């Protein structure tokens, strides 16, 4: 199989760059939405803990549950910055396209860890053995972070310079050498052919 690199900026890569920017925006937006919430209902009174990735927005337990924000804000913003820079700079410096892959990877790692942290919180609260049922919700922030990570991976792949097959008919414009053996023998016609010996014309005799 013969492969060659695609030419300058293609529609696919421009689409990929736009999607990379979209994923970056989603990732940053996700950090400001609710990451998770813990809710307990005691005697028809609802106590709620809610946090984004940056701050605790509501804590009716006054710190008794020792809960805090899930710290995906910094990795997610870092990943978004790397992806956005890669998408913009790639129009001038194509080698920086690889930054969108690095950013997508960072975002996947952060999203994965955030989901693991929510699961760990659920487990931690279960182990406490509370007398009343405790409800733990995964917030919109983490859901959006997962979506951003998925979009980032797809867009980063689209953004890359992928190899493509070269079809034989694409080369018909150039010189085609059908057969030249590696070890030429004397019987083969040399590339410039045999010299044509032109016989002198005999004078006409009327």
Site residues (vs another protein, CB under 8 A): 1, 3, 5, 68-75, 78-79, 95, 98, 101-110, 112-114, 116-117, 120, 123-124, 153, 156-157, 160, 162-163, 175, 177-180, 184, 189-194, 196-200
CB of residue 60 to another protein, shortest distance in Å: 18
CB of residue 84 to another protein, shortest distance in Å: 15
Which residue's CB is nearer to another protein, number 5 or number 44?
5
CB of residue 133 to another protein, shortest distance in Å: 22
What distance, in Å, lies between the first and last C-alpha atoms of the chain? Answer: 67
Which residue's CB is nearer to another protein, number 34 or number 103?
103
Which residue's CB is nearer to another protein, number 45 or number 62?
62
For residue 166, give the DSSP letter: P
Which DSSP string corresponds to 35-97?
-EEEEEEETTEEEEEEE-SS-EEEETTTTTT-------HHHHHHHHHHHHHHHHHTTT-GGGG
CB of residue 186 to another protein, shortest distance in Å: 12
Which residue's CB is nearer to another protein, number 199 or number 206?
199
The closest alpha carbon to 1, from 179, 164, 170, belongs to: 164
Which residue's CB is nearer to another protein, number 25 or number 109?
109
Bridge-based pairing of strands 3-5 and 163-165 is antiparallel
195 CB neighbour count, 10 Å cutoff: 6
């Amino acid at each position: 199989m013969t492969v060659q690199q695609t030419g300058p900026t293609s529609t696919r890569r421009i689409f990929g760059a736009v999607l990379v920017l979209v994923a970056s925006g989603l990732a940053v937006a996700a950090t400001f939405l609710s990451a998770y919430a813990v809710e307990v209902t005691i005697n028809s009174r609802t106590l709620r803990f809610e946090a984004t990735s940056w701050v605790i927005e509501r804590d009716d337990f006054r710190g008794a549950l020792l809960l805090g924000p899930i710290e995906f804000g910094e990795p997610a913003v870092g990943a978004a910055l790397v992806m956005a820079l890669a998408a913009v700079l790639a129009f001038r410096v194509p080698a920086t396209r690889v930054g969108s892959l690095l950013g997508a990877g960072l975002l996947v790692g952060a999203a994965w860890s955030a989901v693991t942290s929510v699961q760990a919180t659920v487990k931690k609260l279960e182990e406490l053995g509370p007398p009343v049922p405790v409800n733990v919700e995964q917030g919109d922030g983490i859901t959006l972070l997962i979506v951003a990570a998925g979009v980032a991976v797809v867009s980063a792949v689209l953004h890359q310079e992928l190899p493509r097959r070269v079809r034989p008919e694409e080369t018909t414009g150039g010189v085609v050498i059908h057969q030249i053996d590696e070890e030429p023998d004397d019987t083969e016609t040399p590339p410039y052919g045999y010299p044509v010996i032109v016989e002198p014309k005999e004078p006409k005799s009327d």
